Amino acid sequence: MEYNDFYSRYFPFWNDLSEEDKAMLCDNTFTTHFENKQTVHNNLECTGLYIVKSGRLRLYILSEEGREITLYRLSPGEMCMLAASCVIQSITFDVYLDAELPSECYMINASAFGEVTERNPTMKIFALEKTVERFSDVMWVMQQALFVSLDKRLAIFLLDEISSSGDSRITMTQEQIARHLGTAREVITRMLKHMAADSVLEISRGAITIIDKNKLRSIAY
């Protein structure tokens, strides 16, 4: 079975499944590629469960006015359960999934995953545990959006970006930052200009360079 090693690495319940169920999952698993900014999931159809092999995906919600807010991002080795509403029936809100970078993903067909899950309690528990883990990330974002001022949220976002990349230069437009934080580009532009005037950062076309991390931390915390 072509994907046997993949399942052994990512699914701790793999050896508990019957050979028939293993074969069904392997036969319904595919490797797919997404270009930068390509839509992976948009709620019009439920294709299945995605696990990032390389690149990065972004999961977000969308308001009626078209404003986005990022719930979390997926790096290599991470899986997206919240987009699999046809597998986890208790997920009743709409989420969207895009590729932030050119990405290669494993995709497990929704109907096959759901059928095998129904026959295997260990697999169902695993799926629910992964869902609960991600809900904690979502609750953190909602808490930030409701109770933390936008200047602090922006500072936290910038600190997280330079921490994850190890680079003080953030290659991201102000429009992209606004979409992550669920606000308007004009608001982000105004805040970044204030930070630049305070010598916290420098703004260039399509990028931001942090020049004083301590000042940025003082805004965040």
Structural domains in the chain? 4-146 (2.60.120.10), 148-220 (1.10.10.10)
Q: Strand 169-170 vs strand 207-210: parallel, antiparallel, or unpaired?
A: antiparallel
What are the C-alpha distances in Å from 155 to residues 127, 186, 205, 206? 33, 16, 19, 18
Residues 143-174: pLDDT tens digits?
999 899 999 999 999 999 999 889 999 999 99
pLDDT value at 130 more than 90: no
What is the arithmetic mean of pLDDT over 124-152? 89
pLDDT value at 86 more than 60: no
92 vs 111, more confident: 111
The enclosing H or E element of 180 equals: helix 174-181
- Distance between CA atoms of 48 and 103, rounded to whole angstroms? 16
What is the arithmetic mean of pLDDT over 108-137? 87
Sign of the dihedral defined by the CA atoms of residues 192, 197, 202, 204, in that order: positive
pTM equals 0.80
Report the Cα–Cα distance between both ends of the chain, in Å, rounded: 51
